[in-house]
């Protein structure tokens, strides 16, 4: 009775991490235009300061701040205009005491100047002089050299998943080829004599295959490269052939179905036989998700996963284990959660963690989490869910009104 | 002084919505494999119930529940086994009183039976009969016809952005071509004499172009199709030509830079001249983001946007207006937020909304939002941000410890 020796979620995670840490990390370089949503594989240090010159943040006059002391709405200070600096061109003349230069937003601050007075507070007196109606302190209305990124500073950390804003940082630092982790190659195998492809009409007793679609979409969401998707009849030799072939090219092989206690359960045997050291987890203390099988093959560096046949359970286990592992190995932070107050009491199974799906509805002080109850075979249950919360195995459920952390998915 | 007549964010949104509602909605059909992250363009109604037959959720024996009444751990009930149902094949024989049939997980429940007893509570007595040690109620351990999706029911709503779980629902319902909104075609134009491409070394006074990269990445994130990206010198005729040509093919033209009060401000003029009715917003009461220009052209059905030149401000305005508008027109819900407690007092500008960037740090009772202060020209500011919160224009800022809603981005 293998199912008696189930692992907790954290035991299973620890075993997975120990095994998968043997995998060689693979880094590739992509063009900046293609780097969105990829994960940075090295810390980035800037060889130059950004900006590399002092820039004005307003349209105005670059001045020596000391010259403006005492100026005010009705008491102007008069300064000599020595240059009109154009955007995109260097400032040529040094500002001496009693002088100023026009500078547009984004323009270069000339030597000698240490602040900018906005045009709104300036009035031309004649062609060469300017009345200034504002006292500015040093540093006012300008960005210093290196204020955005200091020279030699670490400006983006390994493990950062590149959002539009990081693409902007990379562009500003002139990084146009970006070191990122090579995405995992993954093979998805769904087994079951009852399965027909989604574009076929099922006969009585048959159902459409869901898991290859769901796991393919999940894989894309996290940036994996799906190498193959297969729906197999539940025959040991077919599974053996498919897994053996997938192990040659993939970082992870995921088999769903065939892992409940049914008569045709071959997944654990096949994975254990083809891999060395083989299967190390024969079930996890998670609801839903108990019939989960985990293993590793050292030679091919392949992570092996047998997922429950129920689509919702398969998706939850994939998220909690496969995605978790990938985030760990690529140094990414845990996914952000949102806080909500649970709407009703929820009982949870003693001795196992419970993954509770919730809908979020607007309450007076933020979200209310409405638990979604339903059998794990039901796909629409999962579709109604905004996210999930994990109930600790040592907790006896949740009380209505209790605050929880919901991970959106 | 056009900038005196600024719109609030909600006024600007309302004007955008009224204009853009004239756009014809365009729907296209994609294969299920390609439907991930696309937005459903019609309500979907199922022509058939899912599942289409009663399925067992366990390995066990399909029984008439009434036959098991009185059974218990030490008091078996004896039933005649009449069939071993295979997964994927129809149940053939009707279960009469006193009879049962073996059914695997996912297998078809035979006529006559109304519950399943798990194998764990059954013991073979001889080849034809079974001792049952559990009393089950009707409906136990099975999924009814239509329990996942009822026949003729609306099972996915227009405006749903398709996540892996919705892909699963579509697969289970046999929808293999999916009606989705055609993504907006967008042209991105960045103007400024100081700009050089990101792979060139800037000369003194010059900076690398950031906005085409950031706006391209933002566009991809929300599923827009970027038709062209251009960096232009700030010359009226170049801008005119680029906008005119982009309006012919695009749903939205975004021009960033050239919209502060600097001398070379052509954007508003050009957009107003090329479009009919033209520009309707000449600035918004938002910090950062004041120098924003909005317009519409009825003939080409193009939305026109002039964004601030500062990358962070450009990105925020794009998110608050362009993305907001697209979500509205495609019937998508507002983005999910997370609740956090603000770490320090924050002053906000009176008479305008403030978009406050925050970092989220773990606190005892969930997230603490740490405000990120920095000039809007700084790109790294935005990269440190997990998200933003909008401070109402009638509010005088935030008090340390106040709960806020943070939209992740």
Residues 6+ apart with CB under 8 A from A394: none
* Per-residue pLDDT at A80: 97
* Per-residue pLDDT at B407: 95
Residues 6+ apart with CB under 8 A from B297: B247, B274, B275, B276, B278, B304
Q: Cα(A68)–Cα(A136) distance, rounded to whole angstroms? A: 6
Q: State what percent of residues in chain A have pLDDT above 70.
A: 97
pLDDT in tens, A149-160: 999 999 999 999
* Per-residue pLDDT at A375: 74
Find residues 211-270 of chain A whose CB sits inside 8 Å of chain B: 211, 213-218, 220-221, 234, 260-264
Tokens of A150: 């200091």
Answer yes or no: is pLDDT of A354 > 70: yes
Q: Cα(B171)–Cα(A210) distance, rounded to whole angstroms? A: 5
8 Å CB contact of B202 and A264: no
Nearest to A108 by CA among A90, A135, A121, A95: A90
Look at strands B286-287 and B293-297 and give their pairing: unpaired
Answer yes or no: is pLDDT of A4 > 60: no
Cβ atoms of A182 and A239 closer than 8 Å: no
Tell me the chain B residues in contact with residue A360 when contact means C-beta distances shorter than 8 Å.
336
pLDDT in tens, A42-51: 999 998 999 9
Cβ atoms of B193 and A88 closer than 8 Å: yes
pLDDT in tens, B253-264: 999 986 455 544
Mean pLDDT of chain A: 93
Stronger pLDDT, B216 or A126, i.e. the higher one: B216
CB of A205 less than 8 A from some CB of B:
yes
- Torsion angle of C-alpha atoms B303, B309, B315, B320, degrees rounded to 10: -50
8 Å CB contact of B88 and A208: no
* Per-residue pLDDT at B101: 97
Q: Cα(A341)–Cα(B369) distance, rounded to whole angstroms? A: 19
**In which element (H, E) is residue A13 found?**
helix A9-20
Tell me the chain A residues in contact with residue B90 when contact means C-beta distances shorter than 8 Å.
203-205
CB of A155 less than 8 A from some CB of B:
yes
Q: What is the mean pLDDT of residues A227-246?
A: 94
**Distance between B161 CA and the closest CA of chain A, angstroms:** 11
Q: Cα(A333)–Cα(B386) distance, rounded to whole angstroms? A: 12
| Global ipTM | 0.92
Answer yes or no: is pLDDT of A2 > 60: no
Tokens of B1: 């002084």
Cβ atoms of B199 and A174 closer than 8 Å: yes
Q: Cα(B179)–Cα(B134) distance, rounded to whole angstroms? A: 48
Tell me B164's DSSP state. H
pLDDT in tens, A71-104: 999 999 999 999 999 999 999 999 999 999 999 9
One digit per residue, the tens of pLDDT, for chain B of length 409 reads 444 589 999 999 999 999 999 999 899 999 999 999 999 999 999 989 999 999 999 999 999 999 999 999 999 999 999 999 999 999 999 999 999 999 998 999 999 999 999 999 999 888 899 999 999 999 999 999 999 999 999 999 999 999 999 999 999 999 999 999 999 999 999 999 899 988 889 999 999 999 999 999 999 999 999 999 999 988 899 999 999 999 999 999 999 986 455 544 689 999 999 999 999 999 999 999 888 999 999 999 999 999 998 888 999 999 999 999 999 999 999 988 999 999 999 999 888 999 999 999 999 888 999 999 877 668 888 899 999 999 999 998 999 999 999 999 8
Answer yes or no: is pLDDT of A1 > 50: no
Minimum CA–CA partner of A106 in chain B: B194
Residues 6+ apart with CB under 8 A from B315: A164, A165, A168, B214, B215, B218, B382
* Per-residue pLDDT at A93: 97
Mutation target among A141, A217, A340, A368 for the B interface, most CBs of B within 10 A: A217
pLDDT in tens, A272-303: 999 999 999 999 999 998 889 999 999 999 99
Q: Categorize the per-residue pLDDT at A258 as very low, low, confident or very high, splitting at 50, 70 and 90.
A: low
Please report the number of interchain residue pairs, chain A to chain B, with beta-carbon separation below 8 angstroms.
285
* Per-residue pLDDT at A261: 56
Q: Which residues of A86-109 are buried (b: 16+ CB within 10 A; e: fewer)?
A: bbbeebeeebeeebbbbbbbbbbb
8 Å CB contact of A169 and B89: no
Q: Cα(A367)–Cα(A345) distance, rounded to whole angstroms? A: 16
Cβ atoms of B384 and B372 closer than 8 Å: yes
Q: Which residues of B325-339 are buried (b: 16+ CB within 10 A; e: fewer)?
A: bbbbbbbbeeebbbb
Report CA B77 to chain centroid distance, whole Å: 53
- Torsion angle of C-alpha atoms A171, A174, A177, A182, degrees rounded to 10: -60
Which residue shows structure tokens 């365009």?
B26
Q: Per DSSP, what are the bridge partners of residue B196?
A: B208
Identify which of A194, A204, A336 has the shortest CB distance to residue B106: A194
- Domains along chain B with CATH numbers: 2-26+182-329 (3.40.980.10), 28-50+147-181 (3.90.105.10), 55-143 (2.170.190.11), 337-408 (2.40.340.10)
Q: Cα(A138)–Cα(B402) distance, rounded to whole angstroms? A: 34
Q: Cα(B327)–Cα(A87) distance, rounded to whole angstroms? A: 37
């Amino acid at each position: 009775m293998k199912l008696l020796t189930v692992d907790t979620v954290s035991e299973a995670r620890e075993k997975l991490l120990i095994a998968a840490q043997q995998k060689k990390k693979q880094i590739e370089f992509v063009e900046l235009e293609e780097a969105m949503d990829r994960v940075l594989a090295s810390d980035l240090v800037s060889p130059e300061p950004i900006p590399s010159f002092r820039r004005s943040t307003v349209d105005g006059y670059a001045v020596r701040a000391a010259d403006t002391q005492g100026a005010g709405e009705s008491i102007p200070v008069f300064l000599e205009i020595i240059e009109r600096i154009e955007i995109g061109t260097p400032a040529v003349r040094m500002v001496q005491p009693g002088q100023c230069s026009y500078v547009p937003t984004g323009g270069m601050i000339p030597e000698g100047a240490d602040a900018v007075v906005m045009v709104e507070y300036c009035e031309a007196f004649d062609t060469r002089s300017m009345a200034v109606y504002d006292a500015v302190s040093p540093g006012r209305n300008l960005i210093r050299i290196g204020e955005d990124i200091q020279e030699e500073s670490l400006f983006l950390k390994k493990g950062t998943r590149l959002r539009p804003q990081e693409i902007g940082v990379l562009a500003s630092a002139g990084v146009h080829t970006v070191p990122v982790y090579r995405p995992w190659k993954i093979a998805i195998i769904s087994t079951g004599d009852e399965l027909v492809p989604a574009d076929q009409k099922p006969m009585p007793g048959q159902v459409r295959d869901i898991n290859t679609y769901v796991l393919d979409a999940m894989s894309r969401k996290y940036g994996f490269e799906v190498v193959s998707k297969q729906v197999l009849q539940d025959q040991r030799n077919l599974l053996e052939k498919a897994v053996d072939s997938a192990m040659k090219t993939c970082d992870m092989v995921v088999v769903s179905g065939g892992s409940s206690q049914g008569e045709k359960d071959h997944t654990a045997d096949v994975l254990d036989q083809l891999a060395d050291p083989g299967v190390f987890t024969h079930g996890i203390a998670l609801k839903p998700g108990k019939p989960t099988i985990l293993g590793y093959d050292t030679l091919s560096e392949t992570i092996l996963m047998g997922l429950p046949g129920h689509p919702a359970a398969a998706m939850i286990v994939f998220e909690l284990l496969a995605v978790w592992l990938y985030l760990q190995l690529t140094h990414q932070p845990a996914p952000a959660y949102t806080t909500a107050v649970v709407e009703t009491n929820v009982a949870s199974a003693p001795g196992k963690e419970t993954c509770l799906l919730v809908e979020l509805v607007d309450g007076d002080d933020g979200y209310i989490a409405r638990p979604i109850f339903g059998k794990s075979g039901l796909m629409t249950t999962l579709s109604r869910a905004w996210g999930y919360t994990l109930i600790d195995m040592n907790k006896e459920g949740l009380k209505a009104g209790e605050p929880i952390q919901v991970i959106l998915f």
